[in-house]
Amino acid sequence: MAIGWSMSSKKITITDVAEHAGVSVTTVSLVLSGKGRISEKTAVRVNKAIEALGYIRNQQAAMLRGGGSNVIGLIVSDISEPFYAEVAAGIGEILDGQGKVLFLTQCGRNGRNLDRCFDSLSAYGVDGVIIGSGRFLNDVVKQKARDVRLPLVCAARASEFDDIDVIRPDNSLAAKVATEHLIKHGHRQIAYLGGEGGSLTRAERLGGFCAALLQYGLPFRPEWMVECDCRQQASAQAAQELLTHNPEITAILCHKASVALGAYFGVLGTGYTVGKDNNESYFTRQVALIGFGDVPEAELTNPPLTFISSSAREIGHSAANRLLQRIEMPDEPPQHIILPPKLIARGSV
């Protein structure tokens, strides 16, 4: 009696049905929608679970059968990350103009909850999903999307996928433009600071960085390409150590906005100044800084920091527009949209 009351007082979800039937959420979605290749035995088991639990085949099932929910799902690792916060804002601007709603989920910095986030959005009946990071996207999630014919777009700093729509910045060109800007301002001893060794974004940027050095006949030194935590405190310490051991360095290309801000304080902590201050140029060694991205705090330093940026908000706009196109034309070939960088020159070079 107590068990029956507990079940009837709880709203039964598609996840409950999946657990009761011993199948995946995707399988339940396929049974509800009538799509995909599901064996009769599995379908019977799912339907028995639906009846046993009292699951209501409501609007969610209708949406799965091909109607529209006017809801778009977005999965990011961490919404506090400035890049993806701007991407989300850009997506929201486009969707709002189309009368659609953005449903935001977080999968965690290591992507451990990506599958669960996708299953939840799929079960809810969203019209499509944007993955805000290519780093954690896997073949399992892509196959789930294909199974339920759920449009999927990746909006990321970098992505190696060629079988889905991808919107991303041109990391290699951005690094090349930034490095050339430093070289044209007279710098010949240039270091790269920040990022992790396994980062595809970092690898692409280092490729552009090294290409520019080689083009101008300048050597690149592996010991001047320093990995570090992207928090400001860690990057400040890394910049200070880099300059202490290599005082000949005159410029640093910084992997993120937070690294550039940290490096700013690291330079000052070494006793140097940032950029070119003619009043001190004969007395103090100076170091130029350029960061990737851009943040409002960049204009609060003295001098303001120079950045090379592909607008994250524009990436959000492009991702939303591409997903809307994908919803209307699901069988179109995948597109890779690569947005060019823009140099935001300020006083730190």
Residue ranges, comma separated, of all CATH 3.40.50.2300 domains in the chain are: 71-168+312-339, 171-309
Q: What is the pLDDT of residues 259-272, one digit of tens each?
A: 999 999 999 999 99
The CATH fold assigned to 71-168+312-339 is: Rossmann fold (3.40.50)
Q: Which alpha helices (H) appear in 148-251, and where do they start and end?
A: 171-184, 200-215, 232-245
CA 72/CA 107 separation, integer angstroms: 16
**Cα 149 to the center of its chain, rounded Å:** 23
Whether residue 149 has pLDDT greater than 70? yes
Pick one of 1.10.260.40, 3.40.1670.10, 3.40.1710.10, 3.40.1500.10 as the CATH number of 2-64.
1.10.260.40
Q: What is the C-alpha to C-alpha distance for residues 168 and 257, in angstroms, rounded to an integer? A: 17
- Sign of the alpha-carbon dihedral angle for 265, 271, 274, 279: positive
Are 192 and 246 a contacting pair, CB within 8 Å?
Answer: no
Residue 32 has pLDDT above 90, yes or no: no
pLDDT at 242 over 90: yes
Report the pLDDT value the prediction gives residue 277, as an integer from 0 to 100: 54
pLDDT of residue 299: 81
pLDDT tens digits for range 50-94: 888 877 665 454 454 445 678 999 999 988 888 899 999 999 999
Q: By mean pLDDT, which of 67-76, 86-95, 207-216, 330-339 is the weakest?
A: 67-76
Question: CATH classification of 171-309, choosing from 1.20.1730.10, 3.40.50.2300, 3.30.230.10, 3.40.50.720?
Answer: 3.40.50.2300
Residue 7 has pLDDT above 50, yes or no: no
Q: Could you tell me where the DSSP H helices lie in 10-56?
A: 14-21, 25-33, 40-53
pLDDT of res. 156: 87
Provide the residue type at 150 as one letter: L
The more confident residue out of 51 and 253 is 253
Amino acid at 76: V
pLDDT, the chain, mean = 87
Q: 289 falls in which pLDDT band (50, 70, 90)? A: very high
State yes or no: pLDDT of 27 exceeds 80: yes
* CATH 1.10.260.40 residue window(s) in the chain: 2-64
Sequence letter at residue 219: P
pTM: 0.78
CB atoms within 10 A of CB 325: 15
> Would you state the pLDDT for residue 35?
63
